[in-house]
Amino acid sequence: MSVEQELINGISLAVMALYGAEPAVEPVSLQRTKKEFKGHFTLVVFPFLRMSKKSPEATAEEIGAWMKLNVPAVRDFNVIKGFLNLTVDSSSWIGLLAEIDAEMDYGFVEVGDGAPLVMIEYSSPNTNKPLHLGHIRNNLLGFSLAEIMKANGFRVVKTNIVNDRGIHICKSMLAWQKWGNGETPESSGKKGDHLIGDYYVLFDKEFKKELADLVASGLSRDEAEVNSALMNEAREMLRQWEAGDESVVLLWKMMNEWVYAGFAETYSRLGVDFDRIYYESDTYKVGRDEVMRGLRDGVFYSREDGSVWANLTMDGLDEKLLLRADGTSVYITQDIGTAKLRFDDFAIDRMIYVVGNEQNYHFQVLSILLDRLGFAFGKGLTHFSYGMVELPEGKMKSREGTVVDADDLMDEMIGVAKSISEELGKLDEMTKEEAENTVRMIGMGALKYFILKVDPKKNMVFNPKESIDFNGNTGPFIQYTYARICSVLRKATEQALLPVVLKVDTAVSEKEENLIQSIADFKSVVKEAGEVFSPALIANYVYDLAKEYNQFYHDFSILREMDVDLRAVRLVLSANAGKVIASAMRLLGIEMPEKM
């Protein structure tokens, strides 16, 4: 039983003994005592006043006095107005520390065979361009959420939907066909996704040139777009692809394979993976069939030009296009098909889409359409909507080639990590291989932590220079704290100071008690992060823990402590601070170097 639960049980007994009434469960809730007051846990007594018929101060005094006398965990208490601050006895904290020490995966719920199955979709790249900074936030959030859900006892399937068809794909294909001269990743020395992305940018460049010429000849902007030969060629290529034209399909397959190889390399470097990958080129057909079924059943309607629509005005929305007049699909069609395939493939209890907040309307519509089509899972879809990520210079635009490429950014982060680490002398005693692996972990840790520490719902500005700092709220600071703990434990082993035996009657300081409490908080933080879908809760918790451990490290002797029992407590404290820091960072997908 946790210390907090022991106190909650004691409060219930106190209210029953003092006032003859058993309190409802909800009023008996504790919060950590604010740092400016003495104590570990604070009880707000206002919900008990109708039972006590006394003032808040008198009620708090009575409950506190009863608990100090009858609950062994309570060493002392103090009252500030209607708030009862409880100080927990050292023996209870050391007993809790021993329990935490005995759990290898403290804070995690074991995943059972019958646990609910959660599918989490993230990444969702287009095969006309490489992954960029926006994709990095998406991938990191999705992967971290999957790890957090596992830690809360859920079975998890990580999935990806690759957008490998559509007009944007045809733009890259057409540009390569027109101006590529047979260029390949091998002949160019470029990653396949980068090569295809270059042709996407080239299409846009040539398209804008053509539009300028048409406007100069007297056409309006709208007329120029309708009469663009280049855009009409791309549209025709899309129609040929959907009709199964052999030459177009072969070109599409070849170029997509180049992109998939590039994506795989980027995902590997990012440290993210998937249990199942779906492709829009497969799922859009299923979606189109479902839309046609809905048309036959009267769920949807057709306009004079043959396009298929859904009327959502009854839901407070507008009318939604599902199939174009030429029979080609739109995004929502593909998502209908993907959802059906997924629920056919897996017994999913919850489906979570990790997609930016600019798609809030899209997922609202998807849920309604699936429900109208008779799918039981329609209303239960969850859109994990997150904010956009920008640079200090502003927004990025793929078609103009102004995005921050994911591979380039990772290279830059690792390069900066190497430069700073060398300057600080953190690599001096490492082999070349150790140093390279360490700077990789530092650079990637800085990138991941900087992105994940921000509330997912908020837009954020990513500043590479701010993310690598060994003294701030950064990944490298937490990694360095962990490496420091590893160093302490290595030296303890070398000096034959481990293993140790904890004695619950060892007197420890308030700072040590608070550190144990912080370590113990990990369990509730993991639970809350899973409930509200927020890796940021984990990130900011682990920063606070690392900061608190460093204060403890500077204020107290560990290896040189002459009191054997006290030294044992401090070594176990260090080991479990390190264990929880590593576990928290693992939930963020961040590797931890043991030397820095």
pLDDT value of residue 393: 67
Q: What type of residue sits at position 405?
A: D
Residue 400 buriedness (CB in 10 A; 0-12 / 13-18 / 19+): exposed
Mean pLDDT of 64-93: 96
Write out pLDDT tens, residues 143-201: 999 999 999 999 999 999 999 998 999 999 999 999 999 999 999 999 999 999 999 99
Write out pLDDT tens, residues 530-547: 999 999 999 999 999 999
Among the four given CATH numbers 3.30.1360.70, 3.40.50.720, 3.30.1330.10, 3.90.79.10, the one describing domain 3-88: 3.30.1360.70
pLDDT value of residue 398: 44
Strand partners, 41: 32, 86
Mean pLDDT of 378-393: 88
pLDDT value of residue 403: 72
Predicted confidence (pLDDT) at residue 401 exceeds the cutoff of 70: no
Strand pairing class (30-32; 389-390)? unpaired
In sequence order, the 6+-apart residues with CB closer than 8 A to the CB of 283 are 161, 334, 337, 338, 341
Highest mean pLDDT among 46-50, 373-377, 574-578: 574-578
Among the four given CATH numbers 1.10.730.10, 3.40.50.300, 1.10.150.120, 1.10.3720.10, the one describing domain 412-587: 1.10.730.10
Helix (H, G, I), strand (E, B) or coil at 84: strand
Query: Which tokens go with 447?
Result: 């990138």
| Gap between the Cα atoms of 460 and 450, Å rounded | 10
pLDDT value of residue 366: 96
> Of residues 251 and 328, which shows the higher confidence score?
251
Write out pLDDT tens, residues 200-222: 999 999 999 999 999 999 999 99
pLDDT value of residue 404: 83
pLDDT value of residue 371: 95
Tell me the domain boundaries of the chain: 3-88, 122-390, 412-587
Write out pLDDT tens, residues 253-278: 999 999 999 999 999 999 999 999 99
Instruction: Tell me 349's DSSP state.
Output: S
Write out pLDDT tens, residues 26-44: 667 899 999 899 999 999 9
Taking the chain, what is the end-to-end CA distance rounded to the nearest angstrom? Answer: 37
Choose the weakest-confidence range: 75-89, 264-278, 395-409, 524-538. Answer: 395-409
Predicted confidence (pLDDT) at residue 402 exceeds the cutoff of 60: no
Among the four given CATH numbers 3.40.640.10, 3.40.190.10, 3.40.50.620, 3.20.20.70, the one describing domain 122-390: 3.40.50.620
pLDDT-above-90 percentage for the chain: 88
pLDDT value of residue 27: 61
Write out pLDDT tens, residues 468-479: 888 889 999 999
The answer to whether residues 91 and 504 touch, using CB atoms and an 8 Å cutoff, is yes
Predicted confidence (pLDDT) at residue 394 exceeds the cutoff of 60: no
Residue 560 buriedness (CB in 10 A; 0-12 / 13-18 / 19+): exposed
pLDDT value of residue 396: 43
pLDDT value of residue 399: 45
Helix (H, G, I), strand (E, B) or coil at 383: strand
